[in-house]
Amino acid sequence: MKILFFSDVHGSPESLAQLWKQKDARKPEQLVLLGDALYHGPRNPLRPDYAPPKVVPMLNAEKERIIAVRGNCDSEVDQMLLEFPIMAEFSTLFADGFKFFLTHGHHWNPSVPPPVAKGTVLAYGHTHLPQLERLENGLIAFNPGSISLPKGGNPPSFGWYENGHLQVLELETGKEMFSCDLHS
């Protein structure tokens, strides 16, 4: 199975268009949005291309393939515009025998882990910092970073899963930043 993970769009149509180029080239079966789709949030700078009304139809065009969770900047008015559910605090996805716990990260994260089994991939966003590592508690922390407002000197990034292999990739080039074989 091929899954594209992304987070923290924050109303940037340019960043989402760049991600859609990666999507079109890689042909994932599922798209996972880990929150913060439209609103930039009070702590984030306003991008020059900030235009939530342009992001809405881009996301809705993929509504059949998107699994989304609610970010701390997502609201009920966002749900009124988007044609797929975004208000769940968490979701679970199974792929090729692996379990993914999907959340935004402002409630559940590596410091406050969810009550899930060892070996579960904790997929989250919120920090805008890419991460992919095995934790001491047996979980795999996976943050695809932000496609629009990366932090920590990182480039915009997204996540990719294919046949038991998980990666964080640079948005512009697709170059690998982190990888993890879930089989080992």
20 DSSP 8-state letter: H
Torsion angle of the four alpha carbons 34, 71, 85, 162, in this order, in degrees rounded to the nearest 10: 0
Encode pLDDT of 120-129 as tens digits: 999 999 999 9
Do the strands 30-33 and 90-95 form a parallel or antiparallel pair, or are they unpaired?
Answer: unpaired
The per-residue pLDDT for 52 is 98
For 123, the enclosing helix (H) or strand (E) is strand 121-123
Q: Is the pLDDT of residue 99 over 90?
A: yes
Q: Are 168 and 130 in contact (CB under 8 A)?
A: yes
The per-residue pLDDT for 41 is 84
| C-alpha dihedral sign at 118, 157, 21, 49 | positive
Rounded Cα–Cα distance for residues 151 and 140 (Å)? 21
Rounded Cα–Cα distance for residues 60 and 51 (Å)? 15
Task: Quote the pTM value.
Answer: 0.97
Encode pLDDT of 34-50 as tens digits: 999 999 888 888 899 99
Encode pLDDT of 53-65 as tens digits: 999 999 999 999 9
State mean pLDDT over 69-86.
98
The per-residue pLDDT for 42 is 85
Of 15, 67, 14, 8, which is closest to residue 41 (Cα–Cα)?
8
State mean pLDDT over 139-144.
99
**Residue ranges per structural domain of the chain:** 2-181
53 DSSP 8-state letter: H
CATH 3.30.460.20, applies to 2-181: no
